[in-house]
Structure 1
Amino acid sequence: MVVYAPAVLFFLAFCVGVLRDRRRFSNAVFLGLAAVFALAAWLVELIREDEQLGRSVVVGLLVLATLGIVVLAGFLVSNGVTMIRKEGRSPANLLSLLGGVALVGLLALLVAAWVLHTHTLLVVAGTAVALAGYVGFLFLCFISYAFLYGRLHIRRRADYVVVLGSGLVGGSSVPPLLASRLERARAVHARLSVRGRQPVLLTSGGQGPDEDLPEAHAMADYLVERGFPAELVEREDRSASTEENLRFSKSIMEKANPDYRCVIVTNNYHVFRAAMTSRQVGVRGHVVGSATASYFWPSAMIREFVAIFLAYRRTNLGICLALLLGGALIWWMR
């Protein structure tokens, strides 16, 4: 059972991290490492007990992983085409298509290396697999933990429900994406009000260059027009980013109640990064998500992952550079 010790240690680190602050990305990495080491330990034990069976299981897992990559590549390309058709050709909308093309390119490189079997091509393919494996591992950690975080229970006590803005249509109208946040905020507010508390619903969003009024005001008008009490709505109308949404909202909440607690509402794909940002700026609250159109979700999740990857760019780019240098060293030593 000693072989399972690394998995147990990483899982304990994950549990401690969640208890200390569930909004850390390190929690996602610890959980991913625990799963990887647990799988590796299980395979080692299986090979020790029955070498032929163990090797067959390893081969089967590799085949399943390869098929999974092929299916994922096809799905991302198809989703990318759908995004372009429905949302336009902005860089953010191309992410799932680019991801699918990158996976197709990786598979083509591996096939070429297998067929041609030249030293240079084998080293290039091996380095590409190492880089893709590292990025893919982080992405799976992010997806898995974001899924878990999004299903954590809301605190029973909250003085504010903060809704993050996301842009207006036609300069003044609330689009469906933002409307879903507002409707989720109303549901959260109703749930928190069952115990007799009346949290303030704080709409957060400034005025963009192509908008006729601040997002916060359009959001507040949307709520009041649908019967939400105007006296329970407050506006934060200066922010231009998620960080500013949370930082300026924090100032409003702290000024009114230094011991405040809040629930932050955004879309489900944005929940974990918003939670990480809320931790960085010192907001005392939990983040929940509203539903997003299924076709929009893959590109949105990739965009969120890229933002988190770049937030830790020194570490991530350093590891990627080390993998590239390792590949170059292997090639040079031949």
Structure 2
Amino acid sequence: MLAYALPALFFVLFAFGVLRDRRRFSNAVYLGLTVVFLVPALLMQVQRMPTPAAVAVTVLILLLPSLGVLVLGVFLVLNGVKMVRKEGRSLANLLSLLAGLGIFAVIALLITAVGTASRTLVALAGTTLLVVGYVSFLFLCFVGYAFLYGRLRVRRDADFVVVLGSGLIGGTRVPPLLASRLERARAVYERQARRGTPPVLLASGGQGPDEQLPESRAMAAYLVERGFPEDRIRCEERSRTTEENLAFSKKIMEEAVPDHRCVIVTNNYHVLRAALLARRAGVNGQVVGAPTAAYFWPSATIREFAAVFLSYKLVNLGICGLLVLGGALALLAAG
């Protein structure tokens, strides 16, 4: 039972963190550490099984991650090619392709290091594996907790439903990505309206250099054209980024209802980062996600993770730097 002490401790920290404020990235890390320390505890239990069964289960547990990495690499490369064909060759659209190629590059480095038995390559491969392992752990924490967060219910009624804007097609028309957010916001509004307390829908989005009107105005027009009550819509027209969406929307909500609650609507890949930013901005509300095209999700999720990773750059880059330094010292010691 002692083997379960660490996973139990991290699970308690995770549960306490979620109850305190589910919009914390530390919750994701505690959940990840729970799983990391639970695996060896389960392996210890497996060793008590009859020998053939124990060997089979152990081999399966050890092989699954390796096979999973290969399958993930192939998937990301294929998805990246599809993403480029559909969305174009911007850096954001290349992320899944680059991640897939990166996986195969690390595998090639490991095989070469083992095959040549070069101390330099072994040290380089080991250091690379440590850095990639650290980043991969955080990425899995991010994806796993984002999945869980997106399924936690918003239990209290809101005064506002805030819809985060995105770029317009041709400078005037709502694209499918934004339409998905608006339809989800409408569903949230209608569910609460049926209980007799309809919230205000706050469309948040300013006017970009290639747009003919503020995104929030286009969003409002989209809703009104589809029968949404115009008197229940307000617009925030100054924001250019998610941070500004939240800051300017908060000001509008505080002026109308000082002790307000809100629900923030974005796309599912953006939910966790939007929640982290909402907490940082002091916005009293949770975030819900709208569906996103399946092919778009991997690159978008990688982009969101990169933004979260860099928002804690002092810690994350510091740890990566220490891992690289450790590899360099190991190489010097081996030489």
Report the TM-score range of the alignment, normalised by the length of the smaller protein: over 0.9
2: CA distance, partners of 1:124 / 1:57: 32
Give 1:111 deviation, angstroms. Answer: 1.3
One-letter amino acid matched to 2:307: A
Residue 71 of structure 1 corresponds to which residue in structure 2?
Answer: 71
2: CA distance, partners of 1:34 / 1:63: 21
Residue 43 of structure 1 corresponds to which residue in structure 2?
Answer: 43
Most deviating of 2-11 and 23-32:
2-11
Residue 271 of structure 2 corresponds to which residue in structure 1?
Answer: 271
Residue 25 of structure 1 corresponds to which residue in structure 2?
Answer: 25
Give 1:53 deviation, angstroms. Answer: 6.1
2: CA distance, partners of 1:59 / 1:129: 21
Give 1:202 deviation, angstroms. Answer: 0.4
> What does the per-residue CA deviation read over 1:198-219, in whole Å, with 9 as the maximum and x for residues that have no partner?
2100000000000000000000
Is contact 2:10-2:34 (8 Å) kept? yes
Give 1:52 deviation, angstroms. Answer: 7.8
1:8 aligns with 2:1: no
Is contact 1:206-1:238 (8 Å) kept? yes
One-letter amino acid matched to 2:119: H
Give 1:59 deviation, angstroms. Answer: 3.8
Q: Structure 1 119/59 Cα, relative in aligned 2: closer, same or farther at 3 Å?
A: farther
1: CA distance, partners of 2:71 / 2:192: 42
1:220 aligns with 2:212: no
1:302 aligns with 2:268: no
One-letter amino acid matched to 1:62: L
Q: Structure 1 50/120 Cα, relative in aligned 2: closer, same or farther at 3 Å?
A: farther
Give the 5 Å matches for 1:104-253: 104-253=104-253
Q: How many residues align?
A: 334
Residue 61 of structure 1 corresponds to which residue in structure 2?
Answer: 61
Q: Structure 1 179/310 Cα, relative in aligned 2: closer, same or farther at 3 Å?
A: same
Is contact 1:155-1:286 (8 Å) kept? no
2: CA distance, partners of 1:56 / 1:291: 40
Give 1:2 deviation, angstroms. Answer: 1.1
Instruction: Give the match's secondary structure for 1:288.
Output: strand
Q: Which ranges of structure 2 fall in alignment gaps of 5 or more residues? A: none
Identity %: 62
Most deviating of 112-121 and 78-87:
112-121
Give 1:171 deviation, angstroms. Answer: 0.6
Is contact 1:236-1:248 (8 Å) kept? yes
1: CA distance, partners of 2:126 / 2:53: 27
Instruction: Give the match's secondary structure for 1:286.
Output: strand
1: CA distance, partners of 2:295 / 2:80: 9
2: CA distance, partners of 1:110 / 1:298: 25
Q: Structure 1 332/54 Cα, relative in aligned 2: closer, same or farther at 3 Å?
A: farther
One-letter amino acid matched to 2:132: A
2: CA distance, partners of 1:63 / 1:42: 16
Residue 280 of structure 1 corresponds to which residue in structure 2?
Answer: 280
1: CA distance, partners of 2:198 / 2:6: 47
Most deviating of 182-191 and 58-67:
58-67
1:292 aligns with 2:292: yes
Is contact 2:46-2:58 (8 Å) kept? no
Q: Structure 1 58/128 Cα, relative in aligned 2: closer, same or farther at 3 Å?
A: farther
Instruction: Give the match's secondary structure for 2:265.
Output: strand
One-letter amino acid matched to 1:256: A
Q: Structure 1 112/56 Cα, relative in aligned 2: closer, same or farther at 3 Å?
A: farther
Q: Which ranges of structure 1 fall in alignment gaps of 5 or more residues? A: none
2: CA distance, partners of 1:325 / 1:48: 40
1:322 aligns with 2:306: no
2: CA distance, partners of 1:241 / 1:316: 24
Give 1:44 deviation, angstroms. Answer: 3.2
Residue 260 of structure 2 corresponds to which residue in structure 1?
Answer: 260
Instruction: Give the match's secondary structure for 1:292.
Output: coil
2: CA distance, partners of 1:331 / 1:55: 35
Q: Structure 1 19/92 Cα, relative in aligned 2: closer, same or farther at 3 Å?
A: same
One-letter amino acid matched to 1:224: V
TM-score (norm 1): 0.97
Give 1:57 deviation, angstroms. Answer: 4.1
Aligned-residue RMSD, C-alpha: 1.4
> What does the per-residue CA deviation read over 1:235-270, in whole Å, with 9 as the maximum and x for residues that have no partner?
000001001101100100111111111110000000
Give 1:90 deviation, angstroms. Answer: 0.7
Instruction: Give the match's secondary structure for 1:296.
Output: helix
Residue 94 of structure 1 corresponds to which residue in structure 2?
Answer: 94
